[in-house]
Chains A and B, each alone.
Chain A
């Protein structure tokens, strides 16, 4: 799938199957994730896009009976994220996640961002201060919270909470950020702020985003994958997918021709 003009790979799914017990949720997914690009996953509810996204930080390990087959290669070190020898905690240090609904910890703004660093054993106040500030700046929320870092995070507005969650994910310097419908609970202004942020973030981190909002996929992503019934139907440059998709199923979905 990689051609001469393709950017570098950050990750790559190879013949990836996923099972919830007996039920196969993902079928033979092959797909590149390009470095420092935004890749959008679109598809109707139940198509497996969130399942796929969550596989990247081994979230399915939390439930017994879930089973991975195949590989998700992670570069530049070429490790298989799904390998039982790879520690999921290590994976989650390198792969951050932001959820649909903002989920700050019931702690202060500062502690929300410092949390991941403390888990890693970082307790030096000067280092923490610096990393917390950088993460908050990276998530474009520093100016709004710098004078109230000791306030409780749940008191922030929804859009601010979501950016705080992004800051929390950024604090450990992840290489890949997973977004699972990050703006579906936000108003258009807060959504715009997150989209703008995604655009800024891709200068330093690779992003994989699940979205139900087709225009959002068209606006923020460089590549788009259309999934249906657990299969990856079409992967391509976002412009091509939205102007001239190759597969009729993709066409039907993005033009709103499916029930």
Chain B
């Protein structure tokens, strides 16, 4: 990534602010995800409200960042690494916002399970582990973005494959549960959608990492498994 400064210091400031806002937004989404995981294990249903409120801030940031991207394109006509940064950011914020939405889904699912008088942690052993793995992915993806570190981005993409395997095994487990005891079906379905949401967060972290590689190295590795081997 190009570290030297633009002739226009205003342009440097604009890009710097854009990056800071993305990291701010990422920080908020991280707290949403980790609060959702906590709610799942502890039954702290009150935090659901906070997660929903944070989501509003995340949505606002997404719109503000997109707006800033449009302004920079209109005013500066960025090229090369600047162009890739602006394009990448505009996609990264979409994935961040959707990851936040998934955290909200998890929180709401957890609340429904507790309100029905069940304990989610009795089901789906390994969900917490899965959730923590995806949270780490999101953190590392944001970290890779902050440093424009393509190598770290690649390791996040690799981690997504493990998350997918784990997700499938949780689903198999839940199906067995439901067959053994049909009374668990309602809660199990709820937990399936929670695990699905967790798995989706991993996918968003992967997408973010793909954009980081595009920004840092100019390679578009989407839909190309060979590219990261």
Contacts and interface: CB of A to CB of B under 8 A. Distances in A.
A92 to B, nearest CB: 35
A43 to B, nearest CB: 14
B4 A252 contact: yes
Interface in B78-127: 78-84
* Most-contacted residue by chain B among A244, A245, A252 (CB, 10 A): A244
Contacts of A244: 80, 84, 218
A175 interface: no
Interface residues of A, number: 17
Given A243-B218, A256-B7, A257-B7, A248 B2 contact: yes
Contacts, number: 44
B176 interface: no
Contacts of A258: 7
Interface string B56-78: 00000000000000000000111
Interface string A241-259: 0111100101110111111
Contacts of B76: 256
A2 interface: no
B224 interface: no
Interface of B: prevailing SS: loop
B80 A256 contact: no
Contact of A215 (B4, B7, B77): B77
A218 interface: yes
Interface residues of B, number: 17
Nearest to A218: B79
B77 A243 contact: no
A243 B2 contact: no
B77 A255 contact: no
Given A243-B218, A244-B218, A256 B81 contact: no
Contacts of A215: 77
Given A214-B77, A248-B2, A255-B2, A243 B83 contact: yes
Interface string A215-259: 100100000000000000000000000111100101110111111
Contact of B79 (A242, A248, A259): A242
27 contacts: A214-B77, A215-B77, A218-B79, A242-B79, A242-B80, A242-B83, A243-B80, A243-B83, A244-B80, A244-B218, A245-B80, A248-B2, A250-B80, A251-B2, A251-B80, A252-B4, A254-B79, A254-B80, A255-B2, A255-B79, A255-B80, A255-B81, A256-B6, A256-B8, A256-B11, A258-B7, A259-B7
Given A242-B79, A243-B83, 6 more contacts: A242-B80, A243-B218, A244-B80, A255-B2, A255-B79, A256-B8
Interface of B: 2, 4-8, 11, 76-84, 218
